[in-house]
Amino acid sequence: MKYQFANCKELLELCEKEKLPISQVAIKREMELFGKSKPYVRNKMKAVRNTMWEAIQKGLKSTTRSQYGLVGGSANKLYKGIKKSGTMLQSKVAIRAMAYAVATNEQNALMGRIVAFPTAGGAGVVPGVLFSTFQHMKSSKRRMLNALFTASAIGIAILKHGGTFSAAKAGCQAEVGVGTAMAAAGVTEMRGGTPEQCINAAALALKNMLGLACDPIGGLVEVPCVKRNAIGATNALSASDMSMLGVESYVPMDEVVEAMMNISASMNESIRETALGGLAITPTGMGIRKKMGLPPVPKEYLNRKFAKKCGSCKRCG
Question: Closest CB to ligand SF4 belongs to which residue?
Answer: 121
Cβ-based nearer residue to ligand SF4, 55 or 176 = 176
Q: Measured from the CB of residue 63, what is the shortest distance to ligand SF4 in angstroms?
A: 22
Contacts of residue 284, Cβ cutoff 8 Å, sequence gap at least 6? 217
Cβ-based nearer residue to ligand SF4, 153 or 217 = 217
Asked whether 127 and 100 are in contact (CB, 8 A), the reply is: yes
Residues that bind ligand SF4 (CB under 6 A): 121-122, 167, 172, 175-176, 214-216, 221, 224-225, 228, 273
Cβ-based nearer residue to ligand SF4, 148 or 214 = 214
Which of 89, 159, 197, 173 is CA-nearest to residue 125? 173
Q: Which long-range contacts (CB under 8 A, 24 or more apart) does 295-304 make?
A: 301/270, 301/276, 301/277
Cβ-based nearer residue to ligand SF4, 254 or 273 = 273
Residues forming a β-bridge with 272: 214
Q: Measured from the CB of residue 271, what is the shortest distance to ligand SF4 in angstroms?
A: 9
Q: Measured from the CB of residue 212, what is the shortest distance to ligand SF4 in angstroms?
A: 7
Asked whether 288 and 217 are in contact (CB, 8 A), the reply is: yes
Q: Measured from the CB of residue 55, what is the shortest distance to ligand SF4 in angstroms?
A: 16
Residue 1: CB atoms within 10 Å: 7
Q: Measured from the CB of residue 124, what is the shortest distance to ligand SF4 in angstroms?
A: 9
Cβ-based nearer residue to ligand SF4, 167 or 182 = 167
CA 62/CA 36 separation, integer angstroms:
38
Cβ-based nearer residue to ligand SF4, 189 or 222 = 222
Asked whether 71 and 77 are in contact (CB, 8 A), the reply is: no
Q: Measured from the CB of residue 12, what is the shortest distance to ligand SF4 in angstroms?
A: 28
